[in-house]
Every structure is written in structure tokens, then in C-alpha cells.
Amino acid sequence: MTLPIVLAAGALAVVFGVVMLLHRSLYVSAMCLLAVLLQTGVIFAACGAPLLGLLQVMIYAGAVMVLVVVTVMAAGGRTGPRFADFSIPRPLAWAGLAAALVEGAWLLAGAAGASPAPAVAHPALQLGLGAALFKPYAVATEAATLLMFLAALALIPEEQP
Amino acid sequence: MIPPEVALPVKLLFGAPTAAILFGFFVMRRLKPEWTHWPILASCAAVCASAAWLAAFVHAGHGFDQPLWTWAMVGDWGVAFGVRLDGPSAAVLAMVAFVGSLIHVYAAGYMKGDPGFNRFFLVFHLFFLAMIGLLLSNDYVQLYLFWELVGVASYLLVGFWWHKESARKAALKAFLTNRVGDLGFLVSVVLILLVFKTTRLQLVYMTVAGKQPELLALIAFGLFWAACAKSAQWPLYWWLPDAMEGPTPTSALMHAATMVTAGVFLLVRSWPLIDAVPGMGEAIAWIGAGTALGAAVLAGTKRDLKQVLAYSTVSHLGLMMLALGLGQVGVAVFHLIVHGFFKAVLFLCAGNVAHALHQSTASIDQVGGFRRAMPLTYACFVVAALSLAGVFPFAGFFSKDAILDAAWHHGGALGWLGMAVSAGSAFYVFRLLFLTFHGARAEQTGPAAHPHEADAVMTVPVVFLAAGAAVVGWLGPMVVTTLSSGWTHVPQGVPVMPGDIALPHVNYAVAAMGTAFAALGAGAAWWLTMKDAGWDWRWRREAPWADRLYASDFGWKSLCDAFVRGVVRLGGFVGVVLDKRWWDGLLEGSTAAARVAGDAVERAALGRVNDYLWWMLAGTAILLGRALR
Amino acid sequence: MTLDLTAAVWVVTGALFALGLAACVLRRQLLAMLLGIELMIAAANVALVHHAGLFSDAEALAAVAIVIAVAAAEAVVGLSLILRVHRMGGGLDAGELSELRG
């Protein structure tokens, strides 16, 4: 069951990636990347790492991409009409939305334990991840957390002269 | 160690001049530059007393050779500094100290009011100090250092009036010619180090027997070459007549005491080395005799007072070389001492005459009949002239007679050459005497119209020196005692006999002949200046070729000029063609090539981040390829 | 030939990585380049997660978690840099930032 999901999500991710690469509008590119990252999150879940998938969706799709989009919109005003295109091609938007819905439903179903089991949930691996993150890699985890916090500081705008 | 009874004078000989120079430079120069001469004259007095003390010490039969410290040790060899006090150094030192000090006194009067008074006295005293150090050296390297110091000081003094182009040129000429000679010394020092493994005089003397004759000959030749430059012998003599551009005290000190005697002294010092080379002495004698005669003839044709005296110095140095070459070391040193006295007098008198004319030098066209205006100078000049010409009982008679005697006994042409020099000497000095102090004088205007006697400070030293020029000949036996005692009483008890020290017994026939030749020269001078007063100007007009011949020193000067011009042209070739065109072309071509290459590379570096990413990608691909293979 | 999971993951991650690299190298806008970098990181993460499952290696999953955190921090810093450049008048075009031009 994993293979079709990976194939479907991967194909979708590649399509969105191509659009990201080729579309001249930064806004569209950013939204496409958002879609790609969502698909990779699904692949994570399909491969037996739902926690990481959730993390991917939360951090990337949730936080970072919002930042990117905000930046694009903040910067777009001055960069001329070429990049001020904030409209997403309609089919693309529908496709992304539909994929998100389907996959969300599938994931929820899998989590509920109902219909086709999404993946071999590798319980041992999940346990191992927790153990690895908070035992031998505790310092690295803390450092990464601190790094994120410090990086957030970088966004504080400097004093305007 | 230095014998305690002479430790003080030895210290004073070096310490007093050094202290005076430093005091003069750091204190007097700021506070009272016109009083610079006082500490320096005090130092001269100390030097005189010390020199006399040391001469008495050596005369009593003592002597020492003491290394003091070694500088810049490399392996087991370093530049050793020490003091060697023996016959030659004590005898010459006494003369140098006495004559040099009196010239210092004279200079205080002569240089009065000169804007460079302070500078002059400091350099002058440095010159003196360098000569003292040279005389007391006990090591060839030390000797060489002081030798160079003498050269530098003479350069500074000859070019003292640096705003005159002729002075600058003369200073440069003197310095460069001496450099040419110094090369010989340098080569000799290196060879001595190579052959003897030491440069200490004493050790060289003791081990000179049995060394390679070829290297010894090279060493002796190098030393003689150096002496030729310093003591103004053919082929390197020509700087000396030009060195008249400095103030007169400089000329006097240079000709009488410090500079030109250094060359003869070097040969005396190195006599065991030169003696070990067969034929070297003969060559030195011949070159000396030839120089003496040529310079004596030329001195009779020059018009500038100081120039005549300069050629006279060359001539007398030639006589010393003649004596030295014949092995008569004692005679040579004796004549050196006597010559120091009478030549100092002659120069200082010429300085007084020039001073009376308010000039730095005087030509025979401007002088005449000065004996009434300057009686004291006149009297001193007469004494010195008689001494130079070798008239009994003045000092020059004894030393010159000894040289003539040696040459005569050697036989052959050298004897006749000596006689000819005797006649020539008498001719030029009496010509100068008659033209300057007797005879008519062309009408003059301005301050030169009324010559007057110089101040006491400029006449009293001359009187003292003239007294020396009159009587120092009687001190011959004393000089000989001094000379011989130091040489033999060396510390290790190894006697080193440096040729013949003793003066030859007076040979009445030679003495009479020498006097007769001198009288002949003097008579000719009288005839051609007093009786036939226009002669000096007439022959120049009537025989311009002779004038040219003499002006170019029998062609030698022209030859040297041509040589120097050739060297300059070679230098120009090297500078313009080799250096500027080829080498610089190569260098500039390389920069041009680099620029072209840079332009080519520049096109690849547009500063775009994406381009750099491409490069980075390429690099990563290569690294990955290497890592994965 | 049967298409197994590993091959599918490789194809997908390879394509995504190539797309990210292309975005980074070819596009001139700084933001687009940043997006390319994010895409490459995500692609690498996918491969890492799959192989972690394959080898049952929990440490690889931990690494992925840390990579996600670091990549997020990197994105934030990159964005702030871009904004700063933009405010200083540098625009958003990497082509204009050519002070290193030879």
C-alpha cells in the first residue's frame, strides 16, 4: 500500500516542483514549494515516520512557508510587475487543494486504524526516534532548538535610520 | 696585557679624540659651534703628550702587541681589535701627533667664520683619530677598517665646500680612486686569512716563511696596489693633485700626516710579506723612482701653488717608495717623518698666501713679491724649501741624502733617477719661492691688492713646524733607535727584522753630488723666474703641445680619462640596454602577460551568485566523483 | 521490471533534488534560490526517511528531525538576509549583486 501512495505523492511533488522552477512569479513558486513540502510530509508518513511528517508539515508548511509568502508579498511591491503576480493558476490551486484533502483524509483514516493501513508503523522505530532524539542527541536537539530561536531573532527588523 | 706604565697614554690616544668628537657633536654643535675647536685642541694636546710618552717608551727599548677584544666572532675567527706599539708606529705616531696638532691649531684660525666650522673640526679630528687607529692597529682587518675610515674622512674634507662642483668632483675622484686601491687591500686581507689563517700582524710576520710564493706575491701586489692609491703613486696618483679643493688645513694634514703616509706605512707594516716575494722590492723601487721623477717635472709646470705642492708630495712619496723598495725601511720612515714637517709648512704657507688673497687657493699669476708683506710666512717657506731641496743642515738633507745614497749604492739607473729627482725638487720649490715671494706681481684689485700677514694663530704653528723642518734631521739616529727597538722587542721574543733599519753612513761623494744637483735645480729656477721672468708664461704660449703634454701628466691622465669614459659607457650599456631594455622588458612583459591573463579570466568572473554556484557545483561534482570512485 | 519502493523513492528524491538545484542555479531571484535550497533539503530528507525505515535506524530519523530544524533556521536567516539586501536597495535579483565582479 505504501508504494502507490509514495508514487502518487512523489509524482505530485515533482509536478509542483517543476512549476516552482519554471513559474516566473515568486508567489506561485513559494506556493508550489508549499505543496511539494506537503507531499514530502505525506511520503514521510507513508514511509513509517508520521511524527517527522507532522513536523515537516508544521515547521515547513506551517511556519516557514508563511514567512516566505509574507516576505514575497513584502518585497514584491517594489520589484516591478513581473513578480507582483499574486494569482495562482486555478487548476494548480485545485490540484493542490484536492491532494491535500485526499491525503489528509487518508492519513486520518490510517490513524484511526480503519481503512487500508497506511504503512507499517514501525513502532520500534518510533520509540527509537524518541530515544535517539532525547538521549544521545539531546545536546544536538537543544542546539537546533536554540538555533531556531536565534534565527527568529534575525527577522526582527533593524532600526530604520 | 698593555704595560701599566703606558696604559694611560694608550687610552688617551683613542679616548681623548673620541670624547672630543662626541662632545663636539652632541654639545658644542647645539650650544656654541664656534667653540668646537677648544675640546678638540685639548684632545690634540692629550694626543701629543701620549704620543711623546709612547715614543719615549719605545725608544727605551720596549714594545707590545696586545689584542683587546674580538668583534663578530665567526667560528674561531673574528675581527680582532688590539694595539701594537713598535718602532714604526711609535715613530710615525709622534710625527703625526705633533704635525697634526699644529695643523689643528692653524685650522682654528684658517676656518674662523666659516659656516661649517663645527662640521669641519669634527671631521678633521675624525681624520686624525682614524690615522692614530691605523698606526696602532695590530691586525690587518683592523688596519683595513681604519684605512677606510681615513678614506671616508678625506672624502668628507675634500668635499667640504660641497656647494662647489669642483670640490664635489674632486672628493668623488679621491674616494673612488681610493676605492680602486682598497680593492687590492681587501683581496690581500682575504688572501692573508686564507694563507695564514689569521690576520694578526705578529703571527703573519712569524709564519711568512714557507708559504706559497704565488699567493704571497698576490698578497704583496694587492698591498702595494692599495698603497699606490693611498700614497698617490703611479698608476693611481692622480686624485691627490685634485684633492686641493678642500680647505688648506685639510691639504696640509692629508699631505703631511694622515692620508698619504698611510700607504707607505702599510708597506712598512707589511715589509716581511713584501720582502718574501722576490722582485717585489725592485718593482716598488722602480715605480717609486719613476713616479718621483715624473711628478717632480710636472710640479715644475703647474701654476697653482697648492697644485705644485701636491705634485711635490707625489714626488716625495715616490722617493719613500724608492727607499722602501730597496729594503731601506728605516730611511723610508725617516723621510716620511721629515717630509711631514716640511710639507706641512709649505702647505700652511701656501694657505697663508691664499688667505691673504681671500681665496681658497692661489695661482702664480696672482702672487709675487710677498716677502715684504708676509715676512714670517716667507721665512718659514724658505726654511721648508731648503729642507725639501735637501740643503745642509736642514732636515731634508739627511733623509734625502740617505735615499740618494741607497739608490746610488744599488747602482744603475736608480741612482741617476734619484739625482734627477733631487734637481727637479729644488727647481719646483725654488720656482715657487721666487714667483711667490720675490719677483714682480701683476696689478691686482679688490681685497687681494694688499696682502697682509696672517694672524698669530696661523703663523705660530707654522713657525713651530718650520723649526721642526730645520732640525728634525739631526734626530735621525734617535728615529732609527726607536724604529729598531719596537720591531725586535715583540712579546713572544721572536725578532722580526724588517729590512734595513739603520741609516747608511753619510757618503760624502753622494751628498756632494745630491747637493750639486739640488743647486743646479735651484739655479735653474732662479734663472727662469728672476733673470728671465717671462719664461714661465712664454713657453706655454710658444709650445702649446708641451703645455698639453704636461697638463695631461704625460698623457696618463688622458688615458685614464679614456678608460673611465669607457667604463662609464659600459655602465651605460648595462644600464640602458641590458637593464632597462632587456631585463625591464622581461619584467614588464611578465606584468603585461599577467594582465592579459587576468583580463581573460576576468570575463569568467562576472560576480553573479549563480555563476559561482555553477563553479561550486562543478567542484562538488569533481570531489564527489573522486570520493565515489 | 517491477517498480519497488526504493527505486520509486530514489526517482522522486532525485527529481526533486535536481529541480531544487536547477532553481538554485538557474533562477536569478534570491528568494527563488532560497526556495531551491529548501527543495533540495526536503528531497534529501525524503531519501533519508525511507532508508531509515529500510534499515530500522532510529538515529537517521533523529538526524532528519534535526535537519528539519536547522533548515528552518537557515530559511529564516536567509529570508532576513534577503529582506535586508532588499531594504538596502539591492533588489531581489542575484544578478544585481555583482560587487565581486572581476
Residue B471 burial (CB count, 10 A): 15
Interface test with C, best of A25, A43, A65 (most C CBs within 10 A): A43
Count how many pairs of residues, chain B against chain C, have C-beta atoms within 8 Å. Answer: 37
> Are the beta carbons of C69 and A147 closer than 8 angstroms?
yes
Alpha-carbon span B480 to B474, nearest angstrom: 11
pLDDT at position C90? 61
The overall average pLDDT reported for chain C is 82
How far does Cα A122 stand from its chain's mean position?
A: 22
Would strands B77-85 and B64-74 be described as parallel, antiparallel, or unpaired? antiparallel
Of B561, B467, B61, A32, the C-alpha closest to C23 is A32
Share of chain B above pLDDT 70, in %: 95
Q: Alpha-carbon distance B77 to B188, whole Å?
A: 17
Give me the mean pLDDT over the B67-92 stretch: 83
The yes-or-no reply on B/A contact (3 CB pairs or more, < 8 Å) is no
User: HEC states along B467-496?
Assistant: HHHHHHHHHHHHHHHHHHHHHHCCCCCCCC
pLDDT at A116 over 50: no
Nearest C-alpha in B relative to C25? B610
User: Are residues B289 and B421 in contact, defined by beta-carbon separation less than 8 angstroms?
Assistant: yes
Sequence-distant contacts of A80-83: CB under 8 A, at least 24 apart: A82/A24, A82/A25, A83/A24, A83/A25, A83/A26, A83/A27, A83/C29, A83/C92
Length reported for chain C: 102
A 10 A CB-CB count for A2 gives 20
The residue type at B69: W
Contact between chains at C72 and A148 (C-beta distance less than 8 A):
yes
Q: With contacts defined as CB-CB under 8 Å, which chain C residues touch A31?
A: none
Residue of C nearest to A42 (CA): C46
Q: Give which of C61, C67, C83, C84 to mutate to test A binding, by max A Cβ within 10 Å.
A: C61
pLDDT band at C19 (very low <50, low <70, confident <90, very high): very high
**By C-alpha distance, which of B225, B416, B395, B433 is closest to B309?**
B433
Average pLDDT over residues B387-405: 86
Selected residue of C19, C37, C82, C97 to mutate for chain A interface (largest A Cβ count, 10 A) = C19
Among A21, A52, A128, the residue with its CB nearest the CB of C23 is A21
Q: Closest CB to C98: pick one of B598, B608, B614.
A: B608
H or E element that contains B375: helix B375-389
User: For B610, which of C28, C100, C102 is closest by C-beta distance?
Assistant: C28
pLDDT tens track for B265-284: 999 888 888 888 888 888 99
* pLDDT computed for residue C99 by the predictor: 62
Chain C hits for A25, Cβ within 8 Å:
none
Given this model, what pLDDT does residue B304 score? Answer: 86
Which subunits have 3 or more CB–CB pairs within 8 Å of chain C? A, B
Tell me the count of A-C CB pairs closer than 8 A.
193
- Name the burial class of residue B566, with classes exposed (0-12), middle (13-18) and buried (19+) by CB atoms within 10 angstroms of its CB: exposed
DSSP state of B575: I
Q: And the C-alpha cell for B621? A: 561534482
Residue among C9, C35, C74 whose CB faces A33 most closely:
C35
CA angle (B450, B454, B459) in 5-degree steps: 150
Which residues make Cβ contacts (< 8 Å) with residue B65, sequence separation at least 6? B82, B83, B84, B85, B86, B138, B201, B202, B490, B491
Say if CB B181 and CB B236 are below 8 A apart.
Answer: yes
Q: How many CB atoms lie within 10 A of CB A132?
A: 22
- Do the Cβ atoms of C66 and A141 come within 8 Å? yes
pLDDT confidence of residue B497: 52
Q: Could you read off the pLDDT of B444-503 as tens digits, one per residue?
A: 666 666 777 778 888 888 898 888 888 888 887 788 777 777 554 444 544 455 556 667
Q: Which of C28, C81, C96, C98 is the best residue to mutate to test the B interface, defined by the most B CB atoms within 10 Å of its own CB?
A: C98
Structure confidence by residue, pLDDT tens digits, B144-197: 999 999 999 999 998 888 888 888 888 888 888 888 889 999 999 999 988 888
Q: Which of C75, C50, B226 is nearest to A59 (CA)?
A: C75
Grid coordinates in use for B608? 553573479
Q: What is the pLDDT of residue A118?
A: 46
3-state secondary structure B224-241: HHHHHHHCCCCCCCCHHH
The C-alpha of A83 sits at a distance from chain C's nearest C-alpha, in angstroms, of 10
Among the residue ranges A102-111, B209-218, C29-38, the one predicted with the least confidence is A102-111
What does the pLDDT read at residue B488? 46
Interface contact C95-B614, CB threshold 8 A: no
Query: Distance, in angstroms, between A32 CA and closest chain C CA?
Result: 10
Give the residue ranges of DSSP H helices in B213-328. Answer: 213-230, 239-242, 248-252, 260-269, 271-275, 280-299, 305-325
Q: Tell me the C-alpha distance between B19 and B12, whole Å.
A: 10
Closest CA to A67 of A101, A33, A103: A33
Distance from the A114 Cα atom to the nearest Cα atom in chain C, whole angstroms: 23
Q: Is B450 left (phi over 0), alpha (psi -120 to 50) or beta?
A: beta
CB contact under 8 A, C25 and B609: no
Q: Is B613 on the interface with C (CB under 8 A)?
A: yes
SS3 label, residue B143: helix
| Distance (Å) from the alpha carbon of B626 to chain C's nearest alpha carbon | 20
B107-137 per-position pLDDT tens digit: 988 888 888 888 999 999 999 999 999 999 8
pLDDT range class, residue B442, cuts 50, 70, 90: low
- CB nearest A148 (choices: C5, C57, C73): C73
What pLDDT does residue A100 have? 79
Q: What is the average pLDDT value for chain B, to the nearest integer?
A: 85
C93 to chain B, closest Cα gap in Å: 10
pLDDT the model gives residue B493: 46
**C-alpha distances out from residue B305 to B226, B308, B371, B424, B550, Å:** 28, 5, 16, 16, 16
> What pLDDT was estimated at residue A76?
57
Whole-number Å distance between alpha carbons of B528 and B536? 7
Rounded to a whole number of angstroms, the distance from the CA of B625 to the nearest CA of chain C is 17
Rounded Cα distance, B553 and B547, in Å: 10
- pLDDT at B443 (0 to 100): 64
pLDDT the model gives residue B225: 92
Chain C contact for B605, CB < 8 A? Answer: yes
By Cβ distance, the residue of C15, C19, C53 closest to A48 is C53
Which residues of chain B does C95 touch, with a Cβ-Cβ cutoff of 8 Å?
Answer: 608, 610
Neighbours of chain A (3+ CB pairs under 8 A): C
Global pTM?
0.67
Amino acid of residue B569: R
pLDDT of A110 > 70? The answer is no
Locate the chain A residue with the closest alpha carbon to C64: A52
State how far the Cα of B269 lies from the Cα of B167, in Å rounded to an integer. 32
Helix (H, G, I), strand (E, B) or coil at A74: helix
User: Distances in Å between the alpha carbon of B55 and those of A7, A80, B433, B493?
Assistant: 118, 105, 34, 20
Name chain C contacts of A144, Cβ cutoff 8 Å. 66, 69-70, 73
With cut-offs at 50, 70 and 90, classify the pLDDT of residue B622: very high
Collect all residues of chain C within an 8 Å Cβ-Cβ radius of residue B609: 30, 33, 94, 97
- Per residue in B24-41, pLDDT (tens digit) is 888 888 888 888 888 999
What span, in angstroms and rounded, lies between the C-alpha atoms of B219 and B585?
Answer: 43
- pLDDT at B148 (0 to 100): 92
C residues 26-55 lying closer than 8 A (beta carbon) to B: 26-28, 30, 33
What residues in A contact C76, CB-CB < 8 Å? 64, 67, 148, 151-152, 154-155
Between the two ends of chain C, the Cα-to-Cα distance in Å is 52
Q: Which of B605, B609, B614 sits opposite C102 (nearest CB)?
A: B605
Q: Would you call B193 helix, strand, or coil by DSSP?
A: helix
C-alpha cell of residue B353: 698666501
| Residue A55: other Cβ atoms inside 10 A | 19
Chain C residues touching B598 at Cβ < 8 A: 102
Residue A154 CB: number of other CB atoms within 10 A? Answer: 15
| Angle, alpha carbons B433-B437-B442 (nearest 5°) | 115
CA dist B139 and B150 (Å) reads: 16
Q: Kindly tell me if the per-residue pLDDT of C17 is higher than 90.
A: yes
Q: CA B381, CA B109: separation in Å to the nearest integer?
A: 19
A113-122, B463-472, B503-512: range with lowest mean pLDDT: A113-122
Decide if B601 touches C, using CB distance below 8 A: yes
Chain A residues whose beta carbon lies within 8 Å of the beta carbon of residue C90? none
Please judge whether C58 and A132 are an interchain contact, meaning their C-beta atoms are less than 8 angstroms apart.
yes
Write out the H or E segment, with its range, that includes residue B84. strand B77-85
Q: Which residues in chain B are closer than 8 Å to C28, comparing Cβ atoms?
A: 610
Please give the grid coordinates belonging to residue B210. 714557507
Residues B557, B563, B564: CA angle, nearest 5 degrees: 90
Distance CA B384, CA B398 (A): 14
Sequence-distant (6+) residues with CB within 8 A of B99 are B256, B257, B340, B341, B344, B465, B468
> How far apart (Å, rounded) are the C-alpha atoms in residues A139 and C102?
44
Place of cell 720656482: B431
The confidence score (pLDDT) of residue B490 equals 47
Spell out which residues of chain B touch residue C32, defining contact as CB-CB under 8 Å. none
Q: Give pLDDT, residue A114.
A: 45
Task: Tell me which chain B residues have a C-beta less than 8 angstroms from the C-beta of C30.
Answer: 609
Say which residue, A156 or A9, is predicted with more confidence: A9
More confident residue, A103 or B434: B434
Chain B closest-CA separation from residue C33 CA (Å): 9
Look at residue A161 in the predicted model and tell me its pLDDT.
45
What number is the average pLDDT over the span B416-442?
86
The cell numbers describing B441, all together, are 706681481
> Are B393 and B318 within 8 A, CB to CB?
no
Q: Of B438, B400, B437, nearest to B420 (Cα)?
A: B400
Residue scoring higher pLDDT (B623 or B530): B623
Give the gap in angstroms from C-alpha B589 to the nearest C-alpha of chain C. 22
- Neighbours, chain B (3 or more CB pairs < 8 A): C
| B393 preceded by a cis bond (ω within 30 of 0) | yes
Neighboring chain C residues of B613 at a CB cutoff of 8 Å: 24-25
C-alpha distance from residue A122 to each of A41, A49, B521 (Å): 17, 8, 134
Residue burial C30-55, b: 16+ Cβ < 10 Å; e: rest? bbbbbbbbbbbbbbbbbbbbbebbee
For every residue of B103-137, DSSP letters joined together read: HHHHHHHHTTT-TTHHHHHHHHHHHHHHHHHHHH-
- The mean pLDDT of A68-87, rounded to a whole number, is 60
